[in-house]
Amino acid sequence: MISYGNHRFPGKLFVVEGTDGSGKSTQLALLHQWLKAEGYPVFYSEWNSSSLVKDTTRRAKKRRLFTPATFSLLHATDFADRTERDIIPPLKAGAIVLADRYIYTAFARDVARGCDRAWVRETYKFAVKPTVAFFFRAPLDVAIDRIVSARPRLKYYEAGMDMGWADDEEDSFKIFQGRILEEYDRMVDEFNLTVIDATRSIERQQREMRRIVTRHLKKKKKAAAL
Amino acid sequence: MKVKEKVFYGTPLPGAEREPYSGKLIVIEGTDGVGRSTHITILRSWLESRGHAVLDTGMTRSVLAGRGIKEAKEGHTLGRLTMQLFYATDFADRLENEMLPALRAGFIVLTDRYIYSAIARAVVRGADPAWIRAIYGIALIPDVVFYLRVRSAEELVPRMLNSGRGFDYWESGMDMNLGEDFYDSFVEYQTRLLREFDRMSGEYGFRVLEATRSIRRVASDLRRAVARILDEDAEAVEDVTPVEAQVATSATRAPGQAMVTRPVERQEGTAER
């Protein structure tokens, strides 16, 4: 089995990461539009989207069957299906793959839930190493405000209610997101994440993102010309 | 029964730290069609007649992932990595919600396959042996693993046909493009699985039982071996206090059992690739 960092595909993989409410999905959608307009073959893939695993996840959430370990493993299963179906084939075909959330989401959430850091990383060893992994860093209060004001009610696992940190969903969510952000910060150096300041204007963030992406696409075009 | 501190192969599940479990974990392993479920049924009723509470479990029986795996298998579109992780999810769910609670409560847990079948299937499909072992590091080291062995894949064919099941897509390894038809593919796939089991036999200390003998003889071997394990415990309880017993077992059954042998297996796996 090929492991993280060893994949060699002609395509490019750009991923966005960050806490809920950091604005990463908006940024990825804008990047997607732009790349399509530029004429690149682009494939978009999002977290928790495997049709094989979807029913199991939905049922487990509804019936609250998850523990931190099974939450982690079922999401890894979902991600494996995405990797085998949505990520590796387009990369082999030379396309640009855009991923909304990637393995770092699992590393942040699962470790925040008490899973062993090394064990979770080992589980995802099969993942393709991204060309660039953008981390949209928003201060905790900003992200929480965005989410709490946008949603009528936080979901059970989203709020980390399974961990029993707090009785109130909003309090629990804050604790959970705080732990997640800590894990993200730790990963910046470990995985060489590209940090984008998510407090700046949408336009400015997008300009920065496009500049970085362009650099990698140019390299690709040059290589092809040679 | 004596309270023994059990040990995990690698990184335990969050929250499942080392603790004394008064139950016993007994594994019946073997490839498809060797009679595992028959022997579990026989063993179970014998154990219950001796007054032991028994929980039996097996692959894809979890509340969480059992149905999902079966549905995914029906579509024949389950990718290799996805399949391995789906099985791991199923295992973790049963470990946390069935096996560990039952062992805590002093049950004898009889499991139809454990992590070894999952590892064999993954490795045969090209997974990194170290990767799949690390994932299954969450598993508790069983009290005993009985491996029902057949010598060759050909021996399995009449057993399967006689049972009326016929050739199954996944048991024949049809996802791996190994042969022209179900028969060829089955023989090749099962041969590879048997090779993996043989490799694991030393690593994990399987007790090998020749499965081609009559059901009666295999069952009586199993009973005798299980009785010995249970009796040893009964005697030990009279000799030492539970606290001393715990100290003694944690010293002799350190996770070294897995860790010492694992690098060897890793080397083999690397050489193979």
The pLDDT tens digits of the residues spanning A179-202 come to 999 999 999 999 999 999 999 999
* pTM of the predicted structure, to 2 decimals: 0.86
Residue A138, SS3? Answer: coil
Is A154 or B223 the better-scoring residue by pLDDT? B223
User: Position of tokens 């899973």?
Assistant: A115
Percentage of chain A with pLDDT > 90? 81
Cross-chain CB nearest to A81 (options B65, B82, B92) = B82
pLDDT higher than threshold 80 for residue A223: no
Average pLDDT, chain A: 92
Q: Do B79 and A69 touch (CB under 8 A)?
A: no
Task: Report the pLDDT value the prediction gives residue A132, as an integer from 0 to 100.
Answer: 97
For testing contact with chain B, the best of A4, A63, A70 (most B CBs within 10 A): A70
CB contact under 8 A, A70 and B77: no
Tell me which residues of chain B have a C-beta less than 8 Å from any C-beta of chain A.
10-11, 13-15, 63-65, 67-68, 71-72, 75, 77-82, 84-86, 88-89, 92-93, 96-97, 126-128, 131, 134-135, 137-138
**ipTM confidence:** 0.89
Chain A nearest-CA residue for B74: A52
Residue B212, classified by CB atoms within 10 Å of its CB into exposed (0-12), middle (13-18) or buried (19+), is: middle
Compute mean pLDDT per 10 residues along chain B, 273 residues long, and list them. 73 79 95 92 96 96 93 86 96 96 96 97 95 96 96 88 84 90 94 96 96 95 95 63 40 35 34 34
At A53-109, the pLDDT tens digits run: 999 999 999 999 999 999 999 999 999 999 999 999 999 999 999 999 999 999 999
Q: Say what angle helices B256-272 and B182-204 make with each other, to 10 degrees.
A: 140
* H/E segment holding residue B83: helix B80-94
The secondary element (H helix, E strand) that includes residue B199 is helix B182-204
* Rounded Cα–Cα distance for residues A214 and B5 (Å): 57
Residue B251: Cβ within 10 Å count: 8
Contact B92 A70 (CB under 8 A): yes
Asked if A70's CB is within 8 angstroms of B86's CB, the reply is no
